[in-house]
């Protein structure tokens, strides 16, 4: 989780990712950021997020995103 | 049937009472019949193309759905007897089949769209290369094909991704594809939100009817008073790139910005209003786009549904696709920064090229789309620079003045890009644009210049007043929905507003004999 | 309950105010046809008549500038009215006649055949001149439907605001003066007076179809049937002006039509000598239209024909008609004097 927060802070240092729950709906993460994020997640976690999981629901908070990463990671095994 | 026509108003006047008088159970059938009438009214060929889309997407979605079911059954049966690797291989086999079905269906549907959009151009091209008579010159885009193809294909892709179950009743899919308010100029809708509510029963609600009427009237107001008026001047300016140069181009940019906004948002207001009248809520397509502080923000607020569609079905899948990831890894030796940027850059540019191509077959649209992509990527790269600027001058950058500056900057930037949309060739567009910086002729503009564009000073005054009203309402809207507030004041007040809208349209609108039959600009896409 | 009534009352009131305002604007922007484009005033003036008519003229400019009801009355005691309009095409004439039959049954209807050469609607502007003043009714609806050119729409005839709203920035003093009043009549029982003289010169030759269009002949057939059902005699005429040219083939076709229907047909061009028309003095535009001197000569000649052939009663001495025509004659002579002095 801490690793994920680091990646997020890298992208937007000004945002408090631990509490924010409207990252996409609130316009903090643009599509540009989302793709950057996915690339970084693959680098750091070795998890590839499939296109069908790229919906606001999964990206609106760090917690949701972490849950997604964990879920996909488990599936892959 | 265009929105500003007696035929359309009559169509509504018949449909709405019938829709609410029939038993709720068959309401959606009535709507389907109405769509059929609407589509056939627009032309036989268009009806055929639409039928092809409905049939193929229905068949493909059911086939994909069936493959999912069989996959689950097969793998469940294999669980005890086969190894994990074998089960994975089985799953991949099913995946491959599904992909094949999807691709065939996509090729067919986009093929129709492509042929209609580019047929004429390819015909001319081949005639130029090989001689002979150019083919396909009489192909015309049939009504709303760009919009309904995207909506319906979106549904298929959702089924493919297992985001939504496949609809079993083909008539319900037909209803979604052919829903008539969407055929004029979109928006592109999603099965999940609109498709399902279409078939639900809807009871008549007087308040909703009044609210919908207000929205429709406001749409016509923008369209007939502002857009159609300014369109005359914009057309005159665009028609003579060699003559209207310099400061005329600046005038053209501003007039076109106002015209396009009034036209497109007006049309969408009518669409959403008609939907509301029938109890169907259609996605919003605009969120005060000219108040955006950057181009990328603008594209999240203008033609929202198109942007969402591309993001959902092209941009994200593309940037996480295998080849893209491979490319990203392959470029790692050029540096982490480069390799991380590769997917974003390629996907962005490709999506923008496609967005350009969606808007028109002309090369100007492709250049326009790519330039939009370049501007967005540039501003992303410049972000650190901005951040430093903000840190250095916090008082300035937080002031209303600076916010106003960024908004005006964005409007000017997107208007500059739109010049490509005005001219037939890229050369004319660039030459016109740069003449703004080389030719100073404000004198000519105001000494009779703008009067030579087919509009009188009275027309400019009316259009300008209309723009002011739109601007003022947008400011008010930031604090909450306007119609809700009007309706809260009571029925009498709402009816008065409605009557004032209708009255001013009747007096100041550009319609009827002597004015060209009105056409929504976005209708041609 | 009381609240609901208040709401309904408020909505009704708002609608009344709004539609009242729209009606006022509509009247304001509609052309007044009083000081300019006076041809548009003719159709409506008919409804101001207080006396009936034995003879009704219908047709284009060759009736409303070529016959003087004042002369017909003062010379023969024939009461008449001209329902003519600028480029009034045959279907318009038919419906104006149908409209007139709603309120009176003339003994004779005189139709001038020149407009038969047009088998298709010609121009929106002339449609408007001829129909804007027409009272609402089945006849008006029919006339609108029959004569629309491409791009026109039906509704805008019923609600003139839809057509004329673009005049809102082109209003003149005329529009304000006649906003809610029709003003004085511009014609003398449908006759529009001209006093100028511009002698006829050689008439240009134009290609033409030797056969009159079938559509207009079908409408002529309807006019004949309409007159027959009302027991009214129909007379076909071609007024004496020499341009636009009335071709021999057309003349023969109309003569044959008249013969087969038992109608009288007068081609007055052949009678010009008998009538006494001199195209050097009796036309104000080189032989297209007659001036007042020409119109009076034609009326004198044709009045005699009407009296002899149809035994029309001499209404002179009947108080109602005498009063009406005395006032008209005075206005007529004043206008003649005023125009002559202007020349």
C29 CA: distance to closest CA in chain B (Å): 9
Q: Mean pLDDT in chain C? A: 91
Q: Find all residues with CB under 8 Å of C259, minimum gap 6, and list them.
A: none
| Residue range(s) defining the domain that contains residue A64 | 2-76
- Could you tell me the CA-to-CA distances from A53 to A35, B316, B327 in Å, in that order? 12, 10, 22
Token pair listed for B268: 């969408």
Task: Give the lowest-confidence range in A58-67, B99-108, B241-250, C70-79.
Answer: B241-250
Q: Full-prediction pTM beyond 0.95? A: no
What is the C-alpha to C-alpha distance for residues C163 and C128, in angstroms, rounded to an integer?
A: 10
Q: Pick from B299, B320, B397 the residue to mutate for testing the A interface (most A CBs within 10 Å).
A: B320
**What is the C-alpha R_g of chain C?**
22
Which residue of A lies nearest to B324 if distances are taken between CA atoms? A39
CATH code assigned at A71? 1.10.1200.10
Q: Which of B6, B229, B513, B515 best tests the C interface by mutation, with the highest count of C CBs <10 A?
A: B513
Q: With an 8 Å Cβ cutoff, is A75 touching chain B?
A: no
Distance from C-alpha of A47 to C-alpha of A61, rounded to nearest angstrom: 18
Inter-chain residue contact C153 with B512, CB threshold 8 Å: yes
B134 contacts: CB under 8 Å, gap ≥ 6:
B120, B123, B124, B126, B127, B128
> What does the alpha-carbon distance between residue B238 and residue C310 come to, in Å, rounded to a whole number?
68
**B412, B432, B409: which is closest to B422 by C-alpha?**
B432
- The whole-angstrom separation of Cα C189 and Cα C64 is 9
SS (H, E, C) C222-272: HHHHHHHHCCCEEEEEECCCCCCCCCHHHHHHHHHHHHHHCCEEEECCCCH
**ipTM surpassing 0.95:** no
Q: Say if the Cβ atoms of B506 and C21 lie within 8 Å.
A: no
Say if the Cβ atoms of A35 and B296 lie within 8 Å.
no
Tens-binned pLDDT, residue by residue, of chain A (77 aa): 788 888 888 878 777 888 888 888 777 777 888 888 888 888 888 888 888 888 888 888 888 888 888 888 777 54
Cα B56 to Cα B107, B149, B312: the distances in Å are: 11, 11, 22
Q: C interface mutation test: which of B507, B510, B517, B518 has the most C CBs within 10 A? A: B507
Confidence band, pLDDT 50/70/90 cuts, at residue B524 = very low
Q: Do B514 and C166 touch (CB under 8 A)?
A: yes
Contact B6 C155 (CB under 8 A): yes
In chain C, the largest separation of any two C-alpha atoms, in whole Å, equals 83
∠ CA(B351), CA(B356), CA(B362), 5° rounding? 145
Q: Is B5 on the interface with C (CB under 8 A)?
A: no
> What residues of chain A lie within 8 A of the CB of B325, using their CB?
42, 48
The string of pLDDT tens digits covering residues B338-369 is 887 888 888 889 989 999 888 887 888 889 89
CA distances from B259 to B225, B255, B267, B383 (A): 10, 6, 12, 32
Is B513 in Cβ contact with C14 (below 8 Å)? no
Identify all chain C residues contacting B500, using CB atoms and an 8 Å cutoff: 18
- Using pLDDT thresholds of 50, 70 and 90, give the confidence band for residue B138: low
Residue B135 has what pLDDT?
63
Q: Which residue of B has its CA nearest to A40?
A: B340
Determine, for residues B161 and A51 on separate chains, whether the beta-carbon distance falls below 8 Å.
yes
Q: Is the pLDDT of residue C266 over 70?
A: yes
User: Is B311 near chain A, with CB under 8 Å?
Assistant: yes
Residues of A with Cβ-Cβ distance to B340 under 8 angstroms:
36, 39-40, 43
Chain A residues 6-45 with a CB less than 8 Å from chain B? 27, 30-32, 34-36, 38-40, 42-43
Rounded to an integer, the average pLDDT of B106-110 is 92
pLDDT, position B132: 65
> Pick from B297, B300, B344: which is nearest to A35 by CB?
B344
Question: Is B219's pLDDT higher than 70?
Answer: yes
Chosen for mutation from B225, B495, B501, B515 (greatest number of chain C CBs closer than 10 Å) is: B495
Distance, CA of B337 to CA of B335 (rounded, Å): 5
Quickly state the pLDDT bin for C61 (edges 50, 70, 90). Answer: confident
Interchain contact B/A (3 or more Cβ pairs less than 8 Å): yes
CA nearest neighbour of C116 among C142, C132, C94: C94
Give pLDDT tens digits for C293-303: 999 999 999 99
How near does any CA of chain B get to the CA of C330, in Å? Answer: 42
**With contact defined as beta carbons under 8 Å apart, do B460 and B450 qualify?**
yes
B206 reaches C (C-beta below 8 A):
no
Tell me the count of A-B CB pairs closer than 8 A: 48
pLDDT at residue C201, as a whole number: 81
Subunits touching A (CB < 8 Å, at least 3 pairs)?
B
Q: Which residues pair with C234 in a beta bridge?
A: C109
Residue A42's closest chain B neighbor by CA? B325
Query: Using N-to-C axis directions, what is the helix angle for B247-277 and B457-477, rounded to 10°?
Result: 60
- A27 contacts B300? CB cut-off 8 A: yes
Please give the pLDDT value at position B64. 94
Q: What is the pLDDT of residues C107-166, one digit of tens each?
A: 999 999 999 999 998 888 888 889 999 999 999 999 999 988 887 888 889 998 988 888
| B315, B317, B328: residue with CB nearest A31 | B315
Sheet with C264-267, edge to edge strand ranges: C80-84, C55-59, C108-112, C233-238, C264-267
Q: In the prediction, which pLDDT does B523 show?
A: 43
Select the residue of A31, A39, A50 nearest B328 (Cβ to Cβ).
Answer: A39
Measured between beta carbons, the chain B residues lying within 8 angstroms of A43 are 340
Determine contact: B347 vs chain A, CB below 8 A.
yes
Residue B336 to residue B342: CA distance in whole angstroms: 10
Nearest to B455 by CA among B258, B298, B218, B293: B258
Q: Per the CB < 8 Å rule, is B316 touching A51?
A: yes
C and B: touch, per 3+ CB pairs < 8 A? Answer: yes
What span, in angstroms and rounded, lies between the C-alpha atoms of C192 and C37? 12
Indicate yes or no: CB of A51 within 8 angstroms of CB of B297. Answer: no
**Chain C partners within 8 Å of B458 (Cβ):** 168-169
Contact B325 A42 (CB under 8 A): yes
**Cβ pair C156:B517 closer than 8 A:** no
What is the pLDDT at residue A48?
A: 84
CB contact, 8 Å: A47 with chain B?
no
CA C199 remoteness from chain centre:
25
Q: Which three-class secondary structure state does DSSP give residue B163?
A: coil
CB B337 within 8 A of CB B373: no
Closest Cα to residue C165, out of C22, C14, C15, C18? C22
Pick the residue from chain C with its C-alpha nearest to B491: C7
Whole-number Å distance between alpha carbons of B384 and C267: 94
Q: Strands of B70-224 (E only): list them.
A: none
Q: Among B272, B309, B307, B355, which residue's Cα sits nearest to residue B150?
A: B309
Which residue(s) pair with C112 in the sheet?
C237
Domains, chain C, with CATH or none: 36-147+185-342 (3.40.50.1110)
Element (H, E) at C55: strand C55-59
Q: Verify whether the Cβ–Cβ distance C22 to B503 is below 8 Å.
A: yes
Q: What are the residues of chain C with a beta carbon less than 8 Å away from any beta carbon of chain B?
A: 7, 10-11, 14-15, 18, 21-22, 25, 124, 151-153, 155-156, 161-163, 165-166, 168-169
| DSSP assignment string, B90-117 | HHHHHHHHHHHHHHHHHHHHHHHHHHHH
B496 touches chain C (CB under 8 A): yes
CB contact under 8 A, C18 and B513: no
Sign of CA dihedral B107, B108, B113, B119: positive
* CA angle (B14, B19, B22) in 5-degree steps: 120
The total number of structural domains that make up chain A: 1
* Rounded Cα gap, residues B149 and B157, in angstroms: 12
Looking at beta carbons, which residues of chain A come within 8 Å of B320? 35, 38, 48-51, 54
Task: Check residue A71 and give its pLDDT.
Answer: 87
- With 80 as the cut, is the pLDDT of residue B128 above it? no
Chain C interface mutation, best of B497, B499, B508, highest count of C Cβ atoms under 10 Å: B499
Q: Read off the pLDDT band of B517 (50, 70, 90).
A: very low
Nearest to C208 by CA among C248, C263, C149: C248
B82 touches chain A (CB under 8 A): no
What is the pLDDT at residue C46? Answer: 94
């Amino acid at each position: 989780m801490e690793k994920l927060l680091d990646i997020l802070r890298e992208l937007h240092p000004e945002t408090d990712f631990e509490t924010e729950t409207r990252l996409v709906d609130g316009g903090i993460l643009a599509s540009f950021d989302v793709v950057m994020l996915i690339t970084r997640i693959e680098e750091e976690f070795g998890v590839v997020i499939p296109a069908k999981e790229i919906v606001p629901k999964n990206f609106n908070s760090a917690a949701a995103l972490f849950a997604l990463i964990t879920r996909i990671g488990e599936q892959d095994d | 049937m265009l929105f500003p026509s007696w035929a359309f108003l009559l169509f509504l006047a018949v449909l709405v009472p019938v829709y609410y008088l029939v038993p709720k159970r068959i309401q959606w059938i009535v709507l389907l019949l109405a769509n059929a009438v609407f589509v056939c009214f627009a032309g036989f060929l268009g009806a055929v193309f639409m039928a092809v889309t409905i049939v193929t997407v229905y068949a493909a979605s059911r086939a994909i759905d069936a493959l999912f079911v069989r996959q689950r059954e097969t793998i469940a049966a294999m669980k005890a007897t086969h190894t994990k690797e074998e089960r994975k291989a089985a799953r991949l086999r099913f995946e491959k089949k599904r992909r094949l079905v999807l691709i065939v269906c996509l090729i067919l549907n986009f093929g129709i769209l492509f042929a209609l959009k580019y047929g004429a151009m390819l015909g001319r091209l081949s005639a130029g290369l090989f001689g002979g008579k150019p083919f396909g010159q009489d192909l015309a885009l049939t009504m709303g094909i760009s919009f309904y193809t995207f909506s319906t294909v979106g549904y298929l892709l959702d089924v493919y991704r297992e985001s939504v179950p496949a609809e079993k009743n083909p008539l319900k899919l037909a209803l979604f594809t052919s829903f008539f308010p969407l055929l004029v100029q979109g928006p592109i809708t999603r099965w999940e939100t609109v498709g399902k509510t279409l078939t639900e029963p809807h009871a008549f609600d007087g308040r909703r009817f009044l609210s919908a009427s207000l929205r429709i009237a406001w749409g016509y107001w923008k369209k007939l008073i502002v857009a159609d008026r300014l369109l005359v001047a914009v057309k005159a300016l665009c028609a003579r790139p060699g003559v209207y140069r310099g400061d005329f181009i600046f005038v053209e940019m501003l007039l076109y910005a106002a015209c396009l906004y009034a036209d497109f948002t007006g049309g969408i207001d009518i669409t959403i209003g008609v939907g509301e009248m029938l109890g169907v809520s259609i996605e919003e397509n605009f969120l005060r786009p000219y108040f955006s502080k950057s181009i990328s923000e603008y594209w999240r607020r203008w033609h929202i549904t198109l942007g969402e569609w591309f993001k959902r079905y092209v941009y994200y899948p593309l940037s996480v696709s295998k080849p893209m990831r491979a490319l990203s890894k392959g470029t790692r030796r050029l540096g982490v920064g480069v390799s991380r940027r590769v997917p974003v850059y390629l996907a962005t540019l490709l999506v923008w090229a496609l967005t350009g191509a969606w808007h028109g077959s002309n090369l100007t649209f492709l250049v326009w789309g790519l330039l939009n992509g370049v501007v967005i990527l540039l501003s992303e790269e410049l972000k650190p620079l901005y951040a430093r600027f903000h840190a250095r001058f916090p008082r300035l950058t937080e002031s209303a003045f600076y916010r106003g500056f960024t908004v005006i900057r964005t409007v000017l930037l997107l208007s500059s890009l739109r010049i490509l949309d005005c001219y037939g060739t890229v050369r004319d567009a660039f030459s016109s644009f740069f003449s703004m910086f080389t030719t100073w002729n404000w004198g000519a503009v105001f000494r009779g210049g703008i009067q030579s564009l087919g509009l009188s000073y009275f027309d400019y005054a009316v259009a300008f007043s209309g723009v002011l009203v739109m601007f003022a309402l947008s400011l008010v809207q930031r604090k909450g929905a306007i119609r809700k507030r009007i309706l809260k004041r009571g029925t009498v007040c709402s009816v008065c507003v409605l009557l004032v809208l209708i009255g001013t349209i009747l007096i100041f609108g550009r319609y009827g004999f002597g004015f060209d039959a009105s056409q929504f600009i976005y209708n041609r896409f | 309950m009381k609240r609901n009534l208040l709401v309904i009352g408020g909505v009704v009131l708002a609608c009344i105010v709004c539609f009242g305002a729209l009606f006022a604007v509509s009247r304001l922007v509609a052309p007044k046809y009083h000081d300019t484009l006076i041809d548009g005033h003719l159709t409506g003036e008919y409804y101001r008549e207080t006396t009936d008519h034995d003879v009704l003229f219908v047709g284009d400019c060759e009736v409303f500038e070529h016959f003087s009801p004042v002369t017909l009355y003062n010379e023969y005691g024939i009461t008449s009215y001209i329902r003519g309009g600028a480029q009034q095409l045959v279907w318009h004439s038919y419906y104006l006649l149908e409209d007139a039959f709603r309120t009176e049954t003339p003994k004779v209807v005189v139709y001038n055949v020149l407009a038969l050469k047009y088998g298709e609607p010609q121009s929106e502007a002339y449609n408007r001149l001829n129909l804007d003043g027409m009272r609402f009714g089945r006849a008006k609806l029919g006339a609108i439907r029959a004569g629309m050119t491409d791009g026109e729409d039906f509704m805008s005839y019923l609600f003139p605001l839809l057509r004329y709203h673009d005049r809102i920035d082109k209003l003149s003093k005329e529009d304000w003066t006649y906003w809610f009043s029709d003003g004085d009549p511009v014609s003398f029982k449908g006759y529009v007076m001209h006093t100028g003289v511009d002698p006829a010169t050689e008439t240009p030759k134009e290609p033409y179809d030797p056969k009159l269009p079938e559509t207009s002949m079908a409408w002529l057939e309807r006019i004949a049937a309409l007159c027959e059902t009302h027991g009214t005699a129909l007379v076909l005429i071609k007024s004496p002006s020499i341009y636009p040219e009335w071709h021999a083939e057309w003349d023969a076709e109309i003569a044959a039509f008249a013969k087969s229907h038992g109608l009288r047909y007068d081609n007055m061009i052949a009678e010009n000598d008998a009538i006494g028309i001199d195209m050097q003095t009796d036309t104000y535009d080189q032989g297209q239209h007659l001036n007042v001197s020409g119109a009076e000569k034609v009326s004198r000649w044709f009045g005699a024909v009407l009296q002899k052939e149809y035994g029309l009663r001499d209404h002179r001495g009947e108080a109602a008609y005498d009063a009406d025509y005395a006032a008209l004659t005075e206005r007529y002579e004043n206008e003649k004097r005023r125009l002559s002095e202007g020349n």
